[in-house]
Each structure stands twice: as structure tokens, then as C-alpha cells.
Structure 1
Amino acid sequence: MNKEVPVQTWPCSYYLTSERRWVPGRLSLTPTHLRFRSDNADQFLVSFHLSCINEIKKESSSYIFSSITVLEKDQAKHWFSSLQPNRSVVFTVLEHFWREQLLGPGGGQGAASNTSKGKKLINIVSGSQKRMEDTTRVLHHQGEQFDNIMKGLNKIEADMETSDRILSVLESPSWWPFGSSPWKRSAHAPSKENSAGGQNSGKEGVIIIIPIVFSHYPEHNLKPGKLTVLLSALEISDCSFQLLHRYGRQDVDDIKVFTGHEISIRQRFIGKPDIAYRIISAKLPDILPVLEMQYGKKIEFLEEASMFSEKWRSSPAERVSPGWQADSLFLDTIVKSGPCVEGRTEAAVQEQAVCESEAQELRKILMKLKSIALDAESELERQDEALDEINSSADRAVLKIDKQTRRMRKLL
């Protein structure tokens, strides 16, 4: 059985009921378990699955001050006190992961078991993803060519304005007493109306919204909220979707992935403090592949989180991230049976369409496909606007060249 990497660990004391004393140690939280190990001990003194918890509360009494109690389904009650950095931070994180574990399908206990049908689906969707990525790269290269054309046309327009001024001087030189002012602007000044179309009017596609607990640096108190991943931005809001901060795609200077469930996002400034947020969520494995694809060199996976990076994975079996969940009607249709678990007959395994591990991989690929499709849609809208501007700019250039040609012929 693989050891789970702790999401968070906190120094605290645990009340040992059998001996009626407090035991100092560390409380550790993984995506699926809550554990306590006393100082200088090799074994966990307490360890249970998050789905076995009935209630998490903040409590205190004449004997216990500032504690968190955890009630299991078998009515066993656990007391944790002297929590660092403080009780509220620990409670917010525990409650978040407990609720996400209860809401998640199967409690995250399904064991991976590959089926031929699932492999075929993964190969098909992976092939589609590769083709779409290649197409998007070609589309962006085409967009760069359009940008170069626009730069060339802008230079032509600037040159035409210069030649227009020179022709005006030649037509009415300063020493000529009968002409108008040589610097009088012609009535056919270039229209700049179309240049306003360069603003981005494309839609911002929402890729995914996940529940989080977060803190704004240098604060340490964690608060519940939402993280919205858009095509061109990251938005942090409270539970009522009141926007607290928005990172434009170009504003993000670095994203550090500490574990599969904790990241920090930072925007640097000169002369004033950076804007940095610390984010913890049970759903972060869902969006890490999307963030890595969108932000590329700006995202850094630390040692404990390296397994969540696409660069580290080499096969579909290794690319399964724990807790991967996403809303998808397609997957709800193809996943006709529950997760693959031990004890099923070989015939039952063959009958099911897709097992849980393969469904997780398919969900992840579909999420990336959605991000690529939204990116392609935005780029196509931008290129449509660029083509309109290129056409109008080329038409203006042709008219100016014709008019200046006639003016030069009159001067000969």
C-alpha cells in the first residue's frame, strides 16, 4: 500500500483517554486520512479514514482549552489541543477535506484495475488531445504571422503619412506667396476608428471552479472560498462568489506547488509588496494539469509535488492523480459501474465499461481538451478581428498610394 503524502501537519497534543493525560506530537492530514503520531514514536497513535468522521467541532471546557474534537461513526471521540499556528487554521483545513471526502464518489477508496475498453477510450481521447494541441500550435503560429502583417501595414501607414507631408510641402512651398500654409493637413486624414477593434472582445471561458481554503500573504488565517480557472485569468473569491482578487494570465509571475493539495500564486511588484495567495484544496489535483499547460515555465513543482507534474509522468497508469473529479456528461454515460474493487469476478470486470482509475484519467484529458478548445476559440476570434483590420488597412493603403501617385504626376 502506497504511503500518502501529508497535505498538512501541525504540532499539537492528543488526549489519551485510557491514561487520562495529554500526549504531545503531530497531527497529519492526507487527502483521505487523519493521523496522530506522538513525539519520538514510530507508529501512529490514532489513524482513521475521513469518511468515518461524523462530526468536527471546536470545543473547550474547564479541563480543556481551545480544542478540536473529532467524532467517529463508532462514537469514539478524539480531542486535539495546543494546535499551532492556531485552532481556527487547523479546523478550516480539516473541515474542507472532510466535506470534500464525503461529497466525492466512493470516498477515494477505489483500487485501480485496467480494462481493455478503458484503455481504448484513453488512447482515443489522448489521440484527440494530441491532434488538438498540434492544431492549436499551428493556429497560434498563424496568429503570429497575422501580427507581423499588421506591423508591416502600420509601418506602411506611417510612411504614407510622411510622404503626404512631403508632397504638401512640394505642392505649396514656403517661398510660394500664393499658396496656403505648407503644413496644412489634408482632409483625408487616416481614420483610426478601426484600430479600436484591437481590444480583446473575445469571451473568457470558465474551465473549472473548485472550493478552496486560502490566505492572503502575509496573513496566516485560512478562509473558505472558491478558485475559478479561466482561459485568461485566475480568480479568488469568497463562498458567496464575491471577487477578492483576479490574476490576469500575464500578471502571474510564479506558481509554486508544495504538495498535490497546496499551492501559492504570486504577482511581483517594484516599490510595493507582492500580491501572493496561499491555496489549499482537496480538488487541486483536478486543476494542476490545466495550470501546468497554461502557465508553463511559471509553475514550479517542489519535490513532494513532482508526481503531479506531466513532465514526471510517462504512462497513463502513472498519470492518474488521486481524487480526480470533474463534471462531465460524457463520463457519466460511459462509467456504468462503480470503481474497480478487489473481490469482483473476472467476468464482472470484463462487463464494466470503464473502471474508476481510467475514468479519472479520461476526466483529466477531457478537462485539458476543454481548456485547449477555449484557447483555440479565443485565438480564432482574435484572428477574425485581425483579418478585418488587415483588410481595412490594406484598402486605406491602396487608396493613399493611388491619390499620392496622382499628386506626384501633377508635380512632374
Structure 2
Amino acid sequence: MRRIGVLLTVIGVGLGWPSAGAEPPIPATARQPLYPDSSFYPRLVRLEHSGTANGTIVASINTLRQTGAIMASTDGGTTFRRRGSITDSVSRKSGQLCCSALFELPTAVGDMPAGTLLWADTVFSDVLDVVLRHVEQRLWASRDQGAHWEFVSSIATSNSLFSFTDWGPLLPSAWEPSLSMSADGQLVAFYSDETDSHEHSQKLVQVRSPDGVHWVNQTDTVVSDVQYVRPGMANAIRLPDGTYFMSYEICNTDKVHQCLTYFRRSTDGWNYGDPRFLGTVVRTAADGGYTQHAPYPAWSPGPGPNGTILLSGQMASSVDGTVTPSTGRTLLANDAMGEGNWYEMAAPIVIGGITDAPCKNYSSALLPATDGKSVIEAATDLDSNGDCRAYYASGPLPGPPTPPAPAGK
């Protein structure tokens, strides 16, 4: 993540960000509000390990009331109803809660059975009259498909001193947790870490737990020896062949492309290679362009013959860094486990006026249908009052564009 001051304050104020250049008209869309109030950072899972509840789609959203809102759909994502909420006493005290993750356990971890829903978030609490900020990545669990939640553990904690840098005071020192499970059955958490900011402005780190309570083996996942380069916003998914695919952004690698999307692979869900290897840049086939900021991956059984990796990103840019008309209108897809170039397809939700700022199309979640023919997207946009809100819609997965016929045919 780029440093953006206090994220929640920016999202909640209702700023009118300018349009990112000339854009085609926005067509009518079937998007629906996922939550009836200001909200951001939506996440989606389809229950697969919960017995008779399998097939239910559960969504989580961060709200500006400092709670996690849990919604659920039992009709395949056509409608969502409120199912539960997560109220963290720490965030209630500080008024800061951000950047959550939602995950269903495929197998038991500690005393949590398969099908347990997990929710992780970043909480800030100020102490010593706003001289010191305490930051936690906190884990919650639900054993009844999202209706009731209990606090499980602190994944990681850190402290940040008041700082008058050019980035502003009181910077959080860790954020954006995501969850995965390694091949050996341990719970793995990734997050963006600023605690070593003198050497690394930000890096990606990981920890693991055999029981969801005790977290060990903090390890760098992606780190640059150039101090101002900032890897962040990691999300890892397991592919059908048992390997893992992780997407993330790296900011400040050059002045033209601020936060390019990268990926790397793992055979066991814990070892992702040399942390100093920044990874493979995601490129599009049409013009060799890029996707930038806040990527989110998902596995789909189609439209590729062997399945497809889908990827959302906040913005699309050309090789020279110019924001393209694809911004806010397309998803990326790859039918070769991430290898080679990616192709674009229409996104279910169209969002205009996107710039390098939170809310609009920021970390949009994807949930493909079980037949690989469509995908549900949950994305955020500014409403008519300038408030950030989460929406959802479903759209087809048509596959790669048909190449043009050879000349003379």
C-alpha cells in the first residue's frame, strides 16, 4: 500500500476525486449495494467445508462504525442479507479498524473444526496521549457460518512512535493481513510491515500457527534493499494442483509505474522463494501494459480448459504509465497458472473516475462460480453523497478475445 495518511479518515470524508483522463461513458450496471452504509474492503467466500451450509456465500465488509459487517447469500449471490457483525473493543476505543481478510478453514486447526470462518483485521489504538500507536493484526472465528464471532489471537503486534516525516504523523506500522493454509495444515498469515522502516519503508512478512493461537516463524516474504520500495497487499490462493499463487503490489520501483502487480508461486504455501526476488510482473497481452494497485486473485474452473486465474486491480496503465480506458472496466485472466501474458475481460462492476486513492475499485474481491462461467465481484465506489460504499454484481467469464483472422482470409 502507498502511504495515504490515515486510511479511514480519507475514505470517510467523501472527497470528489477527479476523473483519470477521458473515459468512455459508463453503461447501466446491475450492481447492488452489499451493505446499506459506508463500507470498504469487501471480501467473499463460498462455503465448501460446512456441511449443509455448503454453497452459501459469505461476505465481510469494514464499516466506518469500526465494525466488521457479515453478509450472506443463499441464492448464489443474487441477494445478500445481514448475518452477523464483529465489534472489536480495541477498535471501539481507538476508532481505527482496517483492511480485513475472510477465510474458511478447509481442515481443523487447533480446536477450530473445518468450516470455521476466520476474519483478520488491523486495529490501531493510541496510547500515551497520541505519542505512541499500538497496532495489532487480530484474528476472529465463527463456528456458525458468520452469525457469531469470538476473538482468537493477535497475529502480530507492533508500535509506532509519533513522527513528523513528510508522510505525516502517527503512521501505522503494519496492516493488510491475509490468510492461507499451508500444505502441512498450518494457518499462515501475511501482512504489510513497516517496523523496519529505516532499512525498508515497507515489506511483506509472514507468520504461521499450528492452532490459530500461537504465531511463530516471522519471515520476510518479499523485501527490497532499496529503502523506499514498498511491497504490500499480499493474497495467496491454493490452486487445484496443490501449488499456491500469491499476488501483491510493489510501489516505488520506478517513477512511471507507481505500484505494479507482481506474483510468485509456492509448492507448499509457506516457502515462496528468495524474499529479495521481487517476483514476476503481471503484463497484458494486448499492449504489454500493466495493472496497478491493490490486486486480488481468485481461481476459477473456467473459462480456460485447465482453469483460469482471475485478478482484479485498481488501475490499468500502458507501458509509458498512462492510465488506460480499461481502468475500472476489466479483470485480468490467465489460463496457464500465471505464466505468460494475461488477457482482459469485462468486469461485472464498472467504476469511473479512478485515481491513485482509496475507495474507487480498491482491492476488489472476486468469487468465480463453481462452473467457471461467471464471477461475482465486490467493489467499492463513491455514492452520490461522496461516501464510500461496497457493491456487488455478477458477470460472465467469456475467455480470451478471438485473435484477428490472418490478412486475406
TM-score (norm 1): 0.30
Q: Which of the pair is proportionally richer in helix? A: 1
Structure possessing the higher radius of gyration over alpha carbons: 1
TM-score (norm 2): 0.30
Q: Which of the pair is proportionally richer in strand? A: 2
